[in-house]
Chain A
Protein backbone atom coordinates (compact mmCIF):
# COMPACT_ATOMS: atom_id res chain seq x y z
CA UNK A 1 0.00 0.00 0.00
CA UNK A 2 1.20 3.49 -0.82
CA UNK A 3 0.52 5.83 2.09
CA UNK A 4 -0.16 9.46 1.30
CA UNK A 5 -2.93 11.94 2.00
CA UNK A 6 -4.88 10.81 -1.09
CA UNK A 7 -4.93 7.12 -0.17
CA UNK A 8 -5.79 7.86 3.47
CA UNK A 9 -8.75 10.04 2.50
CA UNK A 10 -9.83 7.48 -0.12
CA UNK A 11 -9.68 4.67 2.45
CA UNK A 12 -11.59 6.73 5.02
CA UNK A 13 -14.35 7.55 2.52
CA UNK A 14 -14.46 3.95 1.26
CA UNK A 15 -14.74 2.43 4.76
CA UNK A 16 -17.29 5.04 5.82
CA UNK A 17 -19.43 4.44 2.75
CA UNK A 18 -19.05 0.67 3.10
CA UNK A 19 -20.35 0.63 6.67
CA UNK A 20 -22.98 3.30 6.29
CA UNK A 21 -23.91 2.00 2.83
CA UNK A 22 -24.33 -1.51 4.25
CA UNK A 23 -26.61 -0.19 6.98
CA UNK A 24 -28.47 1.94 4.45
CA UNK A 25 -29.00 -1.06 2.17
CA UNK A 26 -30.39 -3.10 5.06
CA UNK A 27 -32.65 -0.29 6.28
CA UNK A 28 -33.87 0.53 2.75
CA UNK A 29 -34.56 -3.15 2.01
CA UNK A 30 -36.48 -3.59 5.26
CA UNK A 31 -38.53 -0.44 4.68
CA UNK A 32 -39.16 -1.41 1.06
CA UNK A 33 -40.41 -4.87 2.02
CA UNK A 34 -42.60 -3.48 4.83
CA UNK A 35 -43.90 -0.66 2.66
CA UNK A 36 -47.64 -0.24 2.45
CA UNK A 37 -49.42 2.55 0.58
CA UNK A 38 -51.99 3.00 3.32
CA UNK A 39 -50.90 2.80 6.96
CA UNK A 40 -52.69 3.44 10.25
CA UNK A 41 -52.16 6.95 11.64
CA UNK A 42 -50.55 5.70 14.92
CA UNK A 43 -47.58 4.16 13.06
CA UNK A 44 -47.40 6.89 10.41
CA UNK A 45 -45.26 9.28 12.41
CA UNK A 46 -42.75 6.53 13.31
CA UNK A 47 -42.44 5.45 9.67
CA UNK A 48 -42.07 9.05 8.53
CA UNK A 49 -39.20 9.60 10.96
CA UNK A 50 -37.51 6.36 9.90
CA UNK A 51 -37.93 7.16 6.22
CA UNK A 52 -36.62 10.66 6.78
CA UNK A 53 -33.50 9.29 8.49
CA UNK A 54 -32.88 6.74 5.73
CA UNK A 55 -33.14 9.38 3.03
CA UNK A 56 -31.02 11.87 4.98
CA UNK A 57 -28.31 9.24 5.44
CA UNK A 58 -28.54 8.36 1.75
CA UNK A 59 -28.14 12.02 0.72
CA UNK A 60 -25.03 12.43 2.88
CA UNK A 61 -23.34 9.18 1.75
CA UNK A 62 -24.14 9.64 -1.91
CA UNK A 63 -22.96 13.26 -1.95
CA UNK A 64 -19.65 12.23 -0.37
CA UNK A 65 -19.38 9.17 -2.61
CA UNK A 66 -19.87 11.24 -5.77
CA UNK A 67 -16.70 13.16 -4.93
CA UNK A 68 -14.77 9.88 -4.84
CA UNK A 69 -14.68 9.81 -8.66
CA UNK A 70 -12.48 12.88 -9.20
CA UNK A 71 -10.60 11.99 -6.02
CA UNK A 72 -9.73 8.58 -7.51
CA UNK A 73 -7.86 10.31 -10.35
CA UNK A 74 -6.08 12.65 -7.92
CA UNK A 75 -4.97 9.52 -6.07
CA UNK A 76 -3.76 7.78 -9.25
CA UNK A 77 -1.84 10.93 -10.21
CA UNK A 78 -0.16 10.92 -6.78
CA UNK A 79 1.10 7.37 -7.50
CA UNK A 80 2.92 8.40 -10.71
CA UNK A 81 6.12 9.36 -8.91
CA UNK A 82 6.03 6.11 -6.89
CA UNK A 83 5.68 3.63 -9.76
CA UNK A 84 8.94 2.92 -11.60
CA UNK A 85 8.60 3.78 -15.28
CA UNK A 86 5.28 5.58 -14.95
CA UNK A 87 5.08 8.91 -16.74
CA UNK A 88 1.37 9.50 -16.20
CA UNK A 89 -1.74 7.78 -14.81
CA UNK A 90 -1.55 5.21 -17.63
CA UNK A 91 1.59 3.74 -16.05
CA UNK A 92 -0.19 3.45 -12.69
CA UNK A 93 -3.12 1.63 -14.35
CA UNK A 94 -0.69 -1.12 -15.41
CA UNK A 95 -0.54 -2.31 -11.80
CA UNK A 96 -3.67 -4.30 -10.82
CA UNK A 97 -5.12 -3.56 -14.29
CA UNK A 98 -8.37 -5.49 -13.84
CA UNK A 99 -9.25 -3.65 -10.62
CA UNK A 100 -8.38 -0.24 -12.08
CA UNK A 101 -10.47 -0.96 -15.18
CA UNK A 102 -13.38 -2.02 -12.99
CA UNK A 103 -13.02 1.16 -10.90
CA UNK A 104 -12.78 3.36 -13.97
CA UNK A 105 -16.05 1.89 -15.25
CA UNK A 106 -18.00 1.71 -11.99
CA UNK A 107 -17.13 5.23 -10.82
CA UNK A 108 -18.90 7.10 -13.65
CA UNK A 109 -21.79 4.63 -13.46
CA UNK A 110 -22.20 5.20 -9.72
CA UNK A 111 -21.83 9.00 -10.15
CA UNK A 112 -24.61 8.94 -12.73
CA UNK A 113 -26.91 6.70 -10.70
CA UNK A 114 -26.35 8.66 -7.48
CA UNK A 115 -27.01 11.96 -9.25
CA UNK A 116 -30.21 10.50 -10.71
CA UNK A 117 -31.36 9.26 -7.32
CA UNK A 118 -30.66 12.61 -5.62
CA UNK A 119 -32.78 14.39 -8.25
CA UNK A 120 -35.65 11.89 -7.87
CA UNK A 121 -35.47 12.31 -4.10
CA UNK A 122 -35.56 16.11 -4.48
CA UNK A 123 -38.76 15.82 -6.53
CA UNK A 124 -40.36 13.49 -3.98
CA UNK A 125 -39.33 15.67 -1.04
CA UNK A 126 -40.77 18.78 -2.67
CA UNK A 127 -44.23 17.19 -2.89
CA UNK A 128 -46.37 17.05 0.31
CA UNK A 129 -47.79 13.57 -0.43
CA UNK A 130 -44.38 12.01 -1.35
CA UNK A 131 -45.82 9.77 -4.09
CA UNK A 132 -42.43 8.47 -5.26
CA UNK A 133 -41.26 7.03 -1.93
CA UNK A 134 -41.61 3.36 -2.92
CA UNK A 135 -39.90 3.92 -6.27
CA UNK A 136 -37.13 5.91 -4.54
CA UNK A 137 -36.58 3.11 -2.04
CA UNK A 138 -36.22 0.59 -4.86
CA UNK A 139 -33.89 2.94 -6.78
CA UNK A 140 -31.91 3.42 -3.55
CA UNK A 141 -31.37 -0.35 -3.28
CA UNK A 142 -29.81 -0.40 -6.76
CA UNK A 143 -27.68 2.67 -5.98
CA UNK A 144 -26.57 1.11 -2.66
CA UNK A 145 -25.48 -2.09 -4.42
CA UNK A 146 -23.30 -0.07 -6.81
CA UNK A 147 -22.00 2.02 -3.91
CA UNK A 148 -21.02 -1.10 -1.96
CA UNK A 149 -19.25 -2.67 -4.97
CA UNK A 150 -17.44 0.62 -5.61
CA UNK A 151 -16.35 0.97 -1.96
CA UNK A 152 -15.12 -2.66 -1.73
CA UNK A 153 -13.15 -2.24 -4.96
CA UNK A 154 -11.64 1.02 -3.65
CA UNK A 155 -10.50 -0.64 -0.42
CA UNK A 156 -9.11 -3.67 -2.28
CA UNK A 157 -7.22 -1.46 -4.73
CA UNK A 158 -5.72 0.92 -2.15
CA UNK A 159 -4.63 -1.92 0.16
CA UNK A 160 -3.22 -4.12 -2.64
CA UNK A 161 -1.48 -1.34 -4.59
CA UNK A 162 2.26 -1.94 -4.40
CA UNK A 163 4.62 -0.20 -6.85
CA UNK A 164 6.94 -3.18 -7.10
CA UNK A 165 7.02 -3.71 -10.86
CA UNK A 166 8.37 -1.45 -13.58
CA UNK A 167 5.69 -0.34 -16.03
CA UNK A 168 5.74 0.90 -19.61
CA UNK A 169 5.23 4.43 -20.89
CA UNK A 170 1.87 5.52 -22.29
CA UNK A 171 3.50 6.09 -25.70
CA UNK A 172 3.82 2.32 -26.13
CA UNK A 173 0.02 2.03 -25.99
CA UNK A 174 -1.42 5.32 -27.23
CA UNK A 175 1.10 6.20 -29.94
CA UNK A 176 1.44 2.95 -31.85
CA UNK A 177 -0.18 2.86 -35.33
CA UNK A 178 -2.47 -0.07 -34.35
CA UNK A 179 -3.92 1.67 -31.27
CA UNK A 180 -7.66 0.93 -30.76
CA UNK A 181 -8.54 4.64 -30.71
CA UNK A 182 -7.30 4.87 -34.31
CA UNK A 183 -8.41 1.48 -35.63
CA UNK A 184 -12.10 1.80 -34.69
CA UNK A 185 -12.69 5.27 -36.24
CA UNK A 186 -10.56 4.22 -39.23
CA UNK A 187 -12.86 1.25 -39.80
CA UNK A 188 -15.86 3.62 -39.82
CA UNK A 189 -14.54 6.75 -41.56
CA UNK A 190 -11.67 5.41 -43.64
CA UNK A 191 -8.16 6.81 -44.00
CA UNK A 192 -9.02 10.43 -43.21
CA UNK A 193 -10.71 9.48 -39.96
CA UNK A 194 -9.00 12.18 -37.88
CA UNK A 195 -10.51 14.99 -39.97
CA UNK A 196 -13.91 13.29 -39.91
CA UNK A 197 -13.74 12.81 -36.13
CA UNK A 198 -12.96 16.49 -35.68
CA UNK A 199 -15.94 17.50 -37.84
CA UNK A 200 -18.16 15.00 -36.02
CA UNK A 201 -17.03 16.40 -32.65
CA UNK A 202 -18.27 19.88 -33.54
CA UNK A 203 -21.39 18.65 -35.37
CA UNK A 204 -22.69 16.42 -32.57
CA UNK A 205 -21.89 18.91 -29.82
CA UNK A 206 -23.46 21.86 -31.65
CA UNK A 207 -26.55 19.79 -32.56
CA UNK A 208 -26.90 18.75 -28.92
CA UNK A 209 -26.56 22.32 -27.63
CA UNK A 210 -29.13 23.57 -30.18
CA UNK A 211 -31.60 20.86 -29.12
CA UNK A 212 -31.03 21.68 -25.45
CA UNK A 213 -31.66 25.37 -26.09
CA UNK A 214 -34.76 24.48 -28.13
CA UNK A 215 -36.37 22.95 -25.05
CA UNK A 216 -35.56 26.11 -23.08
CA UNK A 217 -37.19 28.47 -25.59
CA UNK A 218 -40.50 30.22 -24.92
CA UNK A 219 -42.12 28.43 -27.89
CA UNK A 220 -41.42 24.99 -26.40
CA UNK A 221 -44.71 24.64 -24.43
CA UNK A 222 -46.65 25.60 -27.56
CA UNK A 223 -45.15 22.77 -29.65
CA UNK A 224 -47.26 19.76 -30.63
CA UNK A 225 -46.49 16.48 -28.78
CA UNK A 226 -44.88 14.82 -31.81
CA UNK A 227 -42.17 17.43 -32.51
CA UNK A 228 -41.53 17.60 -28.76
CA UNK A 229 -41.00 13.86 -28.63
CA UNK A 230 -38.72 14.00 -31.68
CA UNK A 231 -36.58 16.71 -30.03
CA UNK A 232 -36.37 14.84 -26.71
CA UNK A 233 -35.48 11.51 -28.32
CA UNK A 234 -33.05 13.38 -30.57
CA UNK A 235 -31.34 14.83 -27.48
CA UNK A 236 -30.99 11.37 -25.95
CA UNK A 237 -29.74 9.74 -29.16
CA UNK A 238 -27.20 12.47 -29.97
CA UNK A 239 -26.14 12.54 -26.31
CA UNK A 240 -25.28 8.82 -26.51
CA UNK A 241 -23.52 9.13 -29.90
CA UNK A 242 -21.62 12.14 -28.59
CA UNK A 243 -19.86 10.08 -25.89
CA UNK A 244 -17.66 7.90 -28.18
CA UNK A 245 -17.25 10.77 -30.63
CA UNK A 246 -15.85 13.07 -27.93
CA UNK A 247 -13.63 10.34 -26.44
CA UNK A 248 -12.11 9.40 -29.81
CA UNK A 249 -11.85 13.03 -30.96
CA UNK A 250 -10.02 13.91 -27.74
CA UNK A 251 -7.57 11.00 -28.04
CA UNK A 252 -6.93 11.31 -31.77
CA UNK A 253 -7.19 15.04 -32.46
CA UNK A 254 -7.73 17.35 -29.57
CA UNK A 255 -5.28 16.02 -26.96
CA UNK A 256 -2.20 16.07 -29.28
CA UNK A 257 -3.07 19.59 -30.45
CA UNK A 258 -3.76 20.93 -26.98
CA UNK A 259 -0.59 19.37 -25.53
CA UNK A 260 1.38 20.58 -28.57
CA UNK A 261 2.68 17.02 -28.96
CA UNK A 262 1.47 15.94 -32.42
CA UNK A 263 2.43 12.28 -31.95
CA UNK A 264 1.23 11.84 -28.40
CA UNK A 265 -2.38 10.70 -27.95
CA UNK A 266 -2.44 9.93 -24.21
CA UNK A 267 -5.60 11.23 -22.57
CA UNK A 268 -4.07 10.69 -19.11
CA UNK A 269 -1.15 12.99 -19.96
CA UNK A 270 -3.71 15.59 -21.03
CA UNK A 271 -5.59 15.54 -17.73
CA UNK A 272 -2.84 14.76 -15.26
CA UNK A 273 0.55 16.05 -16.36
CA UNK A 274 -0.24 19.74 -16.20
CA UNK A 275 0.56 20.27 -19.87
CA UNK A 276 -2.93 21.75 -20.31
CA UNK A 277 -3.86 22.91 -16.80
CA UNK A 278 -7.55 23.43 -17.56
CA UNK A 279 -8.05 20.11 -19.41
CA UNK A 280 -9.76 18.40 -16.41
CA UNK A 281 -12.31 21.25 -16.37
CA UNK A 282 -13.01 20.77 -20.12
CA UNK A 283 -13.60 17.05 -19.67
CA UNK A 284 -15.48 17.54 -16.40
CA UNK A 285 -17.89 19.96 -18.08
CA UNK A 286 -18.46 17.47 -20.90
CA UNK A 287 -19.19 14.71 -18.38
CA UNK A 288 -21.63 16.88 -16.42
CA UNK A 289 -23.35 18.05 -19.61
CA UNK A 290 -23.78 14.49 -20.85
CA UNK A 291 -24.87 13.09 -17.49
CA UNK A 292 -27.41 15.90 -17.12
CA UNK A 293 -29.09 14.68 -20.34
CA UNK A 294 -29.32 11.21 -18.77
CA UNK A 295 -30.67 12.68 -15.53
CA UNK A 296 -33.38 14.46 -17.51
CA UNK A 297 -34.28 11.08 -18.99
CA UNK A 298 -34.53 9.56 -15.49
CA UNK A 299 -36.72 12.44 -14.30
CA UNK A 300 -39.04 12.15 -17.33
CA UNK A 301 -39.22 8.39 -16.97
CA UNK A 302 -39.86 8.06 -13.22
CA UNK A 303 -41.01 11.40 -11.84
CA UNK A 304 -43.77 12.50 -14.23
CA UNK A 305 -46.74 11.48 -12.07
CA UNK A 306 -49.63 13.92 -11.61
CA UNK A 307 -48.64 15.13 -8.13
CA UNK A 308 -45.00 15.78 -9.00
CA UNK A 309 -45.37 17.06 -12.56
CA UNK A 310 -44.93 20.75 -11.71
CA UNK A 311 -41.88 20.19 -9.52
CA UNK A 312 -40.35 17.83 -12.07
CA UNK A 313 -40.87 20.28 -14.91
CA UNK A 314 -39.22 23.09 -12.93
CA UNK A 315 -36.31 20.80 -12.10
CA UNK A 316 -36.05 19.66 -15.73
CA UNK A 317 -35.55 23.28 -16.82
CA UNK A 318 -32.71 23.65 -14.31
CA UNK A 319 -31.01 20.40 -15.35
CA UNK A 320 -31.49 21.29 -19.02
CA UNK A 321 -29.86 24.67 -18.32
CA UNK A 322 -26.98 22.93 -16.57
CA UNK A 323 -26.47 20.53 -19.48
CA UNK A 324 -26.56 23.28 -22.12
CA UNK A 325 -24.16 25.41 -20.07
CA UNK A 326 -21.67 22.57 -19.45
CA UNK A 327 -21.56 21.41 -23.08
CA UNK A 328 -21.31 24.96 -24.41
CA UNK A 329 -18.56 25.82 -21.92
CA UNK A 330 -16.63 22.63 -22.74
CA UNK A 331 -16.72 23.21 -26.50
CA UNK A 332 -15.85 26.92 -25.99
CA UNK A 333 -12.78 26.01 -23.90
CA UNK A 334 -11.59 23.49 -26.49
CA UNK A 335 -12.09 26.01 -29.30
CA UNK A 336 -10.19 28.76 -27.48
CA UNK A 337 -7.27 26.39 -26.93
CA UNK A 338 -7.29 25.18 -30.54
CA UNK A 339 -7.31 28.73 -31.89
CA UNK A 340 -4.81 30.32 -29.52
CA UNK A 341 -2.39 27.51 -28.74
Chain B
Protein backbone atom coordinates (compact mmCIF):
# COMPACT_ATOMS: atom_id res chain seq x y z
CA UNK B 1 0.00 0.00 0.00
CA UNK B 2 1.30 3.40 -0.94
CA UNK B 3 1.85 6.43 1.26
CA UNK B 4 -1.06 8.18 -0.49
CA UNK B 5 -3.37 5.32 0.52
CA UNK B 6 -2.63 5.87 4.21
CA UNK B 7 -2.80 9.67 3.92
CA UNK B 8 -6.19 9.36 2.24
CA UNK B 9 -7.41 6.99 4.93
CA UNK B 10 -6.28 9.36 7.69
CA UNK B 11 -8.10 12.27 5.98
CA UNK B 12 -11.27 10.15 5.78
CA UNK B 13 -11.00 9.24 9.47
CA UNK B 14 -10.58 12.94 10.36
CA UNK B 15 -13.71 13.77 8.31
CA UNK B 16 -15.66 11.02 10.12
CA UNK B 17 -14.51 12.28 13.53
CA UNK B 18 -15.44 15.84 12.55
CA UNK B 19 -18.90 14.56 11.52
CA UNK B 20 -19.37 12.83 14.86
CA UNK B 21 -18.22 15.94 16.76
CA UNK B 22 -20.68 18.08 14.80
CA UNK B 23 -23.52 15.69 15.67
CA UNK B 24 -22.55 15.61 19.33
CA UNK B 25 -21.63 19.21 20.08
CA UNK B 26 -22.82 21.68 17.44
CA UNK B 27 -26.01 20.38 15.88
CA UNK B 28 -29.20 22.17 16.90
CA UNK B 29 -31.80 19.87 18.45
CA UNK B 30 -33.99 18.24 15.82
CA UNK B 31 -37.26 16.36 16.05
CA UNK B 32 -36.48 12.97 17.62
CA UNK B 33 -38.97 11.23 15.30
CA UNK B 34 -38.28 12.55 11.80
CA UNK B 35 -35.27 14.82 12.24
CA UNK B 36 -36.94 18.03 11.02
CA UNK B 37 -36.40 21.48 12.53
CA UNK B 38 -38.50 22.25 15.62
CA UNK B 39 -40.70 25.38 15.53
CA UNK B 40 -40.70 26.67 19.12
CA UNK B 41 -44.44 27.36 19.12
CA UNK B 42 -45.31 23.70 18.37
CA UNK B 43 -42.54 22.01 20.35
CA UNK B 44 -43.42 18.91 22.35
CA UNK B 45 -40.95 17.56 24.93
CA UNK B 46 -41.19 14.01 26.19
CA UNK B 47 -39.41 13.64 29.54
CA UNK B 48 -38.16 10.11 30.15
CA UNK B 49 -37.87 8.27 33.45
CA UNK B 50 -34.10 8.84 33.44
CA UNK B 51 -34.87 12.61 33.25
CA UNK B 52 -33.54 12.98 29.72
CA UNK B 53 -35.75 14.81 27.19
CA UNK B 54 -36.75 14.05 23.60
CA UNK B 55 -37.92 17.04 21.55
CA UNK B 56 -40.49 16.84 18.73
CA UNK B 57 -41.67 19.21 16.00
CA UNK B 58 -45.39 18.43 16.36
CA UNK B 59 -47.96 16.48 18.34
CA UNK B 60 -48.09 13.97 15.46
CA UNK B 61 -44.38 13.06 15.72
CA UNK B 62 -44.51 12.99 19.52
CA UNK B 63 -47.48 10.59 19.54
CA UNK B 64 -45.77 8.29 17.01
CA UNK B 65 -42.70 8.08 19.25
CA UNK B 66 -44.84 7.87 22.39
CA UNK B 67 -46.72 4.81 21.12
CA UNK B 68 -43.49 2.82 20.78
CA UNK B 69 -41.90 3.90 24.06
CA UNK B 70 -44.64 4.19 26.68
CA UNK B 71 -42.61 2.20 29.21
CA UNK B 72 -39.77 4.78 29.12
CA UNK B 73 -41.86 7.92 29.54
CA UNK B 74 -42.27 9.93 32.71
CA UNK B 75 -44.38 12.84 31.44
CA UNK B 76 -45.00 15.00 28.37
CA UNK B 77 -44.61 18.78 28.13
CA UNK B 78 -46.47 20.62 25.34
CA UNK B 79 -46.38 24.25 24.17
CA UNK B 80 -49.38 26.57 24.26
CA UNK B 81 -49.46 27.94 20.73
CA UNK B 82 -50.94 31.29 21.78
CA UNK B 83 -48.37 32.29 24.43
CA UNK B 84 -45.54 29.84 23.86
CA UNK B 85 -45.77 28.66 27.47
CA UNK B 86 -44.72 25.10 28.24
CA UNK B 87 -47.24 23.06 30.20
CA UNK B 88 -47.77 19.45 31.23
CA UNK B 89 -49.91 17.66 28.65
CA UNK B 90 -52.56 16.65 31.17
CA UNK B 91 -53.24 20.36 31.86
CA UNK B 92 -53.52 21.33 28.18
CA UNK B 93 -56.54 21.49 25.86
CA UNK B 94 -56.18 19.78 22.48
CA UNK B 95 -58.12 20.76 19.37
CA UNK B 96 -58.17 18.93 16.03
CA UNK B 97 -59.00 21.42 13.30
CA UNK B 98 -58.58 22.13 9.61
CA UNK B 99 -55.50 24.25 10.25
CA UNK B 100 -52.28 22.33 9.63
CA UNK B 101 -49.29 23.08 11.88
CA UNK B 102 -46.80 21.01 9.92
CA UNK B 103 -47.35 20.32 6.22
CA UNK B 104 -44.83 17.48 6.11
CA UNK B 105 -46.85 15.25 8.42
CA UNK B 106 -50.25 16.93 8.11
CA UNK B 107 -50.51 17.52 11.86
CA UNK B 108 -53.86 19.16 12.73
CA UNK B 109 -53.74 18.87 16.51
CA UNK B 110 -53.31 22.19 18.31
CA UNK B 111 -52.41 22.77 21.96
CA UNK B 112 -53.76 25.48 24.26
CA UNK B 113 -53.27 26.35 27.88
CA UNK B 114 -56.69 27.99 28.27
CA UNK B 115 -60.04 26.43 27.45
CA UNK B 116 -61.35 29.68 25.91
CA UNK B 117 -58.46 29.80 23.42
CA UNK B 118 -59.17 26.20 22.44
CA UNK B 119 -62.87 26.90 21.88
CA UNK B 120 -62.13 30.03 19.84
CA UNK B 121 -59.68 28.11 17.64
CA UNK B 122 -62.13 25.23 17.18
CA UNK B 123 -64.84 27.64 16.08
CA UNK B 124 -62.61 29.62 13.78
CA UNK B 125 -61.00 26.63 12.03
CA UNK B 126 -63.90 24.14 12.05
CA UNK B 127 -62.39 21.90 14.69
CA UNK B 128 -63.36 20.05 17.82
CA UNK B 129 -61.86 19.45 21.24
CA UNK B 130 -60.04 16.13 21.42
CA UNK B 131 -58.57 13.94 24.15
CA UNK B 132 -54.99 14.22 25.36
CA UNK B 133 -53.08 12.00 22.89
CA UNK B 134 -50.47 11.34 25.56
CA UNK B 135 -52.60 9.19 27.82
CA UNK B 136 -52.43 5.42 27.88
CA UNK B 137 -55.56 3.54 26.84
CA UNK B 138 -56.91 1.64 29.82
Contact = CB atoms under 8 A, between A and B. Distances in A.
A285 interface: yes
B56 to A, nearest CB: 11
B103 interface: yes
Contacts of B5: 321, 325
Among A86, A279, A340, residue most surrounded by chain B Cβ atoms (within 10 Å): A340
Interface string B14-28: 011111101110010
Interface residues of A, number: 38
Contacts, number: 94
B34 A329 contact: no
Interface stretch (A30-38, A50-58, A163-171): A163-171
A91 interface: yes
Contact of B35 (A273, A285, A336): A273
Given A277-B22, A321-B5, A340-B20, A171 B33 contact: yes
Interface stretch (A3-11, A64-72, A184-192, A259-267): A259-267
B2 A276 contact: no
Given A85-B103, A91-B104, A325-B8, A277 B35 contact: no
Given A325-B5, A337-B20, A340-B20, A332 B34 contact: no
Interface in B36-77: 36, 64-65, 68
A104 B49 CA distance: 44
Interface string A152-191: 0000000000000010111110010000000000000000
A310 B44 CA distance: 65
A263 B35 contact: no
Given A263-B65, A275-B35, A336 B104 contact: no
Interface in B87-128: 103-106
Contacts of B17: 336, 340
Interface in A219-275: 259-261, 263-264, 266, 269, 273, 275
A65 B13 CA distance: 30
B27 A336 contact: no
Contacts of A87: 34, 36, 104
Contact of B64 (A263, A279, A281, A340): A263
Interface in A287-341: 321, 325, 328-329, 332-333, 336-337, 340-341
A131 interface: no
Nearest to A281: B15
A83 to B, nearest CB: 10
B82 interface: no
A244 B23 CA distance: 27
Contacts of A82: none
B15 A269 contact: no
A332 B35 contact: no
B20 A264 contact: no
A267 B27 CA distance: 19
B16 A169 contact: no
A341 B20 contact: yes
A263 B68 contact: yes
Contacts of A278: 15-16, 18-19
A336 B16 contact: yes
A281 B33 CA distance: 24
Contact of A277 (B13, B19, B32): B19
17 contacts: A85-B104, A85-B106, A87-B104, A91-B104, A166-B103, A169-B106, A170-B34, A172-B105, A275-B35, A278-B18, A321-B2, A325-B8, A333-B15, A333-B16, A340-B17, A341-B20, A341-B23
Enumerate the 4 nearest inter-chain pairs by beta-carbon distance, A residue then B residue, closest first: A278-B19, A169-B104, A87-B104, A329-B12
Interface of A: 84-87, 91, 166, 168-172, 175, 216, 259-261, 263-264, 266, 269, 273, 275-279, 281, 285, 321, 325, 328-329, 332-333, 336-337, 340-341
Given A216-B1, A269-B35, A336-B16, 6 more contacts: A84-B103, A86-B104, A264-B34, A266-B34, A333-B12, A341-B23
